[in-house]
Amino acid sequence: MYKDVTLFPYQSSIVYVKKFLDLEDFLLQIKDKEINPIFNTRMSSEFGSYQFTQTKSYEEAWDLCRYTMDEGFDNFYKKFAKLSYKVDELEQKENKYSVTGFSPSVPRFLLGIPFNMKSYGITNKPQKINIYMNLGYSAFQGKEEIEARGIIILNLMRFFENINIKVALYTYDFSQENTEKSLILIPLKTVNEKINVKKLYFPLVHPSFLRRLIFRAQEKMPYRDSGWSHGYGYPVLYEAAINFFKTYKEYFEKEKTIYISTPSEMNIHGNNLEEDFESFIKVLNSKYGEVLERKL
């Protein structure tokens, strides 16, 4: 088990927090099989089905993440590029911004710019920004929803960097089992790295990143509640996760932060990428707009 897990008291519960240095550090620390004894008979990282994980073994999942996955990448990149074009096209439609418009401008909203402005001439524009993506989706989330969210996030990062705002991308799994909570935080991209779509492809879109690799990370956590072994907990809701990050702000955040939740909470269905993009922005603009405006 890990020796460097930090425990935080929070709302009548204990939160186990494990922060990795980067993706490489994560992979190296989960490679061995030294696990918490409560998982001895129920190691989902090893025995998850192909239908559930889309890999045949834990070792296959580890290798695909470490050495980059080729299968399906060309098709994924085509979708990424197509949505990139749509995002750029939306930004070029001047004179069409309004507070009540159907498709608000993503970057203008996130940067706190009124929709009827035609330029990015705002003061105190942030030069660095964090994106925290909640990886902990339920067993009912399918491959299509996961992939669509990954494409949308990559496009958000691309836009920010095109206007000289550096982006750091973190993925986190925030789960709960009775009075114990677990937060696993992995930096996937630093502010000084360029966007590497191929490197991010597996962590952002493949079910095995959660259902084998993150599960192995959980199997090494020093939980005491044996209930973890039956289902690896359930995702902490978006608002509750943000409240925790805000409570311990100095431990987690050094720049401005945008929080992105599970595909279902972001209203992503995986049937039509453009519709998912619009739904995603509507969720940010309505349900979570108040939070984002405070953050940015």
pLDDT digits (tens, 9 = 90+) for 104-119: 455 555 555 433 333 4
CA dihedral over 107, 113, 114, 118, signed as positive or negative: negative
Which residues fall within 8 angstroms of residue 25, CB to CB, at 6 or more apart? none
Output the pTM of the full model: 0.84
Instruction: Report d(CA 153, CA 144) in Å as an integer.
Output: 14
- Please, are residues 36 and 215 in contact by the beta-carbon 8 Å criterion? no
Higher-confidence residue of 188 and 238: namely 188
Per-residue pLDDT band at 160 (split at 50, 70, 90): confident
Task: Count CB neighbours of 256 within 10 A.
Answer: 16
Q: Hey, what are 252's tokens?
A: 């987690």
- Please, are residues 185 and 245 in contact by the beta-carbon 8 Å criterion? no
Q: What is the pLDDT of residue 279?
A: 87
Greatest Cα pair distance, the chain, in angstroms, is: 62
Which residues fall within 8 angstroms of residue 228, CB to CB, at 6 or more apart? 36, 38, 39, 177, 180, 182, 218, 221
Cα distances (angstroms) measured from residue 258 to each of 11, 229, 254, 263: 23, 31, 12, 15
Is the predicted pLDDT of residue 295 greater than 50, yes or no? Answer: no
Is the predicted pLDDT of residue 124 greater than 70, yes or no? Answer: no
The enclosing H or E element of 168 equals strand 166-177
Per-residue pLDDT band at 161 (split at 50, 70, 90): confident
Instruction: Report d(CA 266, CA 235) in Å as an integer.
Output: 14
Is the predicted pLDDT of residue 280 greater than 90, yes or no? Answer: no
Is the predicted pLDDT of residue 23 greater than 50, yes or no? Answer: yes
Is the predicted pLDDT of residue 250 greater than 90, yes or no? Answer: no
- Mean local confidence (pLDDT), 179-195: 95
Instruction: Report d(CA 188, CA 177) in Å as an integer.
Output: 26
Is the predicted pLDDT of residue 265 greater than 70, yes or no? Answer: yes
Instruction: Report d(CA 183, CA 189) in Å as an integer.
Output: 18
Is the predicted pLDDT of residue 198 greater than 80, yes or no? Answer: yes
Give SS3 for 209. helix
Is the predicted pLDDT of residue 180 greater than 90, yes or no? Answer: yes
**82 strand-pairing partners:** none
Is the predicted pLDDT of residue 84 greater than 90, yes or no? Answer: no
Residue that the structure tokens 């299509």 belong to: 144
Residues in the chain: 296
